[in-house]
A and B are shown apart, each in its own frame.
Chain A
Amino acid sequence: MKYLRMMLVLLTVVLLGNTIVLADVPKPVIPKGNAEECVLPKEEMRVDHMNYILHQRDETMHRGIRTKKFSLKGCIDCHTVKDDAGKIVSYKDKKHFCNSCHTYAAVNIDCFECHASTPTAKGTISSTGGKK
């Protein structure tokens, strides 16, 4: 009986401990984008952004449709986060817009193994209309 009570106390402590640890995980600080509003209400974007981006991905890749509304480039251009030195951070930095939530949600994304996670500097390349 004494043994059982000890176990119960131990279990309570463990459970309580867990609760305390969970409460300690900080909520993600989601940086604001540069524009006034997102392309859709933020509640909708939070739930469905991956679907919009996925759909746009296939439309652009296979059909050459290059509308800006749901393009990944649009997200990257608007949702820039600067580090202490004032430089725009890449996906490798925890402060990066996508990272801020994805780290918390433990969702790994592969987008930035190929795609640029920062806007390409204007004027450095011919395609942005700047000098070559």
Chain B
Amino acid sequence: MSKPGSETSKISRRKFLGTGITVAGMSVAPGVSLINVAEARPLDQPVSSKQRWGILVDANKCSKGCTSCVDACFTENGLNRGDEQHSRPGQKAQWIRKIDLRDKATGHEVSLPLFCQHCEHPPCTDVCPTGASFKRKDGLVLVDKHICIGCRYCMMACPYKARSFIHEELTHQFEYAPRGKGTVEGCTLCVHRVDQGRNPACVDACNAAGHKAMYFGDLKDSNSEVSKQLKMHSSKAIRADLELNPGIRYRGI
């Protein structure tokens, strides 16, 4: 049922779009890719699985006693603004914590930040009864607090103790980091910053403190700094035996 004359343009729409993208890609100077960390996605474009955000933590560079990343997380997301007056320290929200490990046999000590590992197969989303725990297409594991019922199954399922439950009414939230009573929350990898093409607050803080122990970027982009670093030296996933394929990887543990 093809119209006369349509033979001349047999190229499909998909092919055409593909060509267009290639041409656009080639118009950029050699060695410079179109998609990189510094370039923010347009506001009206949805996230895609062409990217996967991740962090490489170099525990060799991480300083024992330094809490820059933890402090930055609290400040950025409004976790330390005077809310949660009645909660015990163990109950209060904490998205990132410093862990010190000591090898009993050798006495070797290592310090590292532990937070949501943004797994490829997150157990928290498996157990969530409402679909509030979900993985965004670009690999960020988030809580949709609009549909979270506060059952805390995800907290039980997470092997990294990465999530917190809010027991009290909050009043000091930042507009870009909504948080509230009766919902579970955890590291968002600073999704509001990532969507602007910026680093998570912990990574920036670590760089500012001079340790430069955290590399953030797109794991699927072979030209990103994090991918290059991962390729260069060996790294580990914590609890790799669970085969969750976390987006956060560690070196020197």
Residues of A whose CB lies within 8 Å of any CB of B are 57, 59, 61-68, 73, 76, 90, 113-116, 119-120, 125-127, 132
Contact = CB atoms under 8 A, between A and B. Distances in A.
B75 interface: yes
Contacts of B201: 126
Nearest to B144: A61
Given A113-B169, A127-B76, A65 B145 contact: no
A64 B138 contact: yes
B173 A116 contact: yes
Nearest to A68: B43
B136 A62 contact: yes
A114 B144 CA distance: 12
Interface residues of B, number: 34
B180 interface: yes
Nearest to A116: B175
B18 interface: no
Interface stretch (B5-13, B44-52, B59-67, B90-98): B44-52
7 contacts: A64-B41, A64-B191, A67-B44, A114-B173, A114-B183, A115-B175, A120-B176
Nearest to B176: A127
Given A64-B136, A127-B192, A127-B193, A115 B46 contact: no
Contact of B46 (A57, A63, A73, A132): A63
Nearest to B174: A120
Contacts of B183: 114
Given A61-B144, A61-B146, A113 B175 contact: no
B179 A61 contact: no
A68 B75 CA distance: 25
B134 interface: yes
Contacts of B134: 62
Contacts of A125: 75-76, 174
B181 A113 contact: yes
A8 B204 CA distance: 78
Contacts of A120: 174-176
Interface in B143-186: 144-146, 169-171, 173-176, 178-181, 183
Contact of B175 (A57, A119, A126): A119
Contact of B195 (A59, A66, A113): A66
Given A73-B175, A120-B176, A127-B174, 20 more contacts: A57-B146, A62-B136, A64-B41, A64-B47, A64-B138, A64-B191, A65-B44, A65-B45, A66-B43, A66-B195, A67-B44, A113-B180, A113-B181, A114-B145, A114-B170, A114-B178, A114-B179, A115-B173, A115-B175, A125-B75
Given A113-B169, A127-B76, A76 B43 contact: no
A35 B43 CA distance: 22
A123 B173 CA distance: 16
Contacts of B178: 114-116
A115 B171 CA distance: 9
B42 to A, nearest CB: 9
Contacts of A116: 173-175, 178
Contacts of A59: 46
Given A66-B195, A125-B76, A61 B142 contact: yes
A120 B195 CA distance: 19
Contacts of B136: 62-64
Contacts of B174: 116, 120, 125, 127
A65 B175 contact: no
A76 to B, nearest CB: 7
